[in-house]
Amino acid sequence: MESRDLEGKVALVTGAAQGLGFGIARELAQRGSKVLVTDLQLIKAKEECRNLQDRGMNVVAMHLDVTESGKVTDFFLGLERLDILVNNAGVGQKVSSISDLPDSEWHRVLDATLTSCFYCCRAAAKVMEKQETGVIVNVSSINGQNPAALVGAYNAAKSGVISLTRTLALELAPYNVRVNAVCPGPVYTDFNKSNMAQRCETLGITEEEMIERVRSAIPLGRWGEPEDIARGVAFLCSPDAGWITGEIMRVSGGMEGVAATPPKRSRE
């Protein structure tokens, strides 16, 4: 039987028009939350929300660019209540060694993946401190704990998300607000497809070979699905996790990180 352990809660998920964010929004809605499905892609978010509304779920699509500090602050100030925030929005990095990484790519990734999380956490903290209740779940990555080669900016951003989570958990504990992070392993979303395509090129292997290589490195022997990550997030949001805060939870089929040393680059 479906659990309704989030009945009556108001949740906001960032970057929720597709991929993991959409899976998380659907899971929270299935469990009884009203969910604000926010993203840069408003048309797509609206289409996806219509499908969920047709199935009786209480979801609302809204535009929110998490890199815009002032707009994020105003958006949260406009909320009457917020029980759950899931900071999911983030961008992948163009595959590159640190020695070749341009400033622009570093800042693009850090802005959209770490600073954005800070903006949303700060704004939500004000609402939740006043309510003296709430839950925040930040989406980090296994790369945040075990960095993979050639995505140094992304690794740094996701490590930063972990640090932000643990700091905020201490600061919000007196207000009965819990803050945790999940570290997903590989799920074949648009984000991952683009990263894989670049790595296939670097390694000179096909997409199928890469998919199999990753699969065989996952102890549970299969790629993740958005539902796998969504259930982990929903657990941390639920009353069952009522004494869990400052926790960093891998949802990765047992995978701890991607360990591959890239070949030496030719310098001409």
Ligand X SMILES: NC(=O)c1ccc[n+]([C@@H]2O[C@H](COP(=O)([O-])OP(=O)(O)OC[C@H]3O[C@@H](n4cnc5c(N)ncnc54)[C@H](O)[C@@H]3O)[C@@H](O)[C@H]2O)c1
Among 183, 184, 211, 185, smallest CA distance to 197 is for 211
135 C-beta neighbours (distance < 10 Å), count = 29
CA distance 16 to 122: 20
**Do residues 37 and 45 lie in contact, with contact meaning Cβ atoms separated by under 8 Å?**
yes
Among 112, 105, 129, smallest CA distance to 198 is for 105
- Please give the biggest Cα pair distance in the chain: 62
Q: Which residue is nearest to ligand X (CB)?
A: 19
Binder of ligand X out of 88, 93, 145, 245 (CB under 6 A):
88
Residue 154: active-site member: yes
Stretch that binds ligand X, among 89-97, 121-129, 164-172, 237-245 (CB under 6 A): 89-97
**Site map 180..219 versus ligand X, x via CB under 6 A:** ----x-xx-xxxx---------------------------
- Shortest separation between residue 112's beta carbon and ligand X, angstroms: 5
Binder of ligand X out of 52, 82, 86, 90 (CB under 6 A):
90
Among 27, 189, 46, smallest CA distance to 37 is for 46
Stretch that binds ligand X, among 1-9, 54-62, 82-90, 119-127 (CB under 6 A): 82-90
- Shortest separation between residue 164's beta carbon and ligand X, angstroms: 13
- Shortest separation between residue 184's beta carbon and ligand X, angstroms: 4
End-to-end Cα distance, the chain: 62
**Site map 120..159 versus ligand X, x via CB under 6 A:** -------------------x-x------------------
**Site map 39..78 versus ligand X, x via CB under 6 A:** xxx----------------------xxxx-----------
Identify residues 247-266 at the interface with ligand X (CB under 6 A): none
- Please, which residue, 19 or 147, has the CB nearer to ligand X? 19
What is the side-by-side order of every strand in the sheet holding 134-139? 59-63, 34-39, 10-13, 84-87, 134-139, 177-184, 248-251
- Shortest separation between residue 81's beta carbon and ligand X, angstroms: 22
The count of chain residues that interact with ligand X, using the rule CB under 6 A, is: 29
Among 30, 37, 43, 40, smallest CA distance to 11 is for 37
Residues in CB range of 230: below 8 A, 6 or more apart: 20, 23, 24, 26, 27, 28
Which is the catalytic residue, given 119, 154, 175, 188? 154
CA distance 21 to 86: 8
Identify residues 3-42 at the interface with ligand X (CB under 6 A): 14-15, 17-21, 39-41
260 C-beta neighbours (distance < 10 Å), count = 14
Residues forming the site for ligand X (CB under 6 A):
14-15, 17-21, 39-41, 64-67, 88-91, 112, 116, 139, 141, 184, 186-187, 189-192
Write out the catalytic residue numbers. Answer: 154
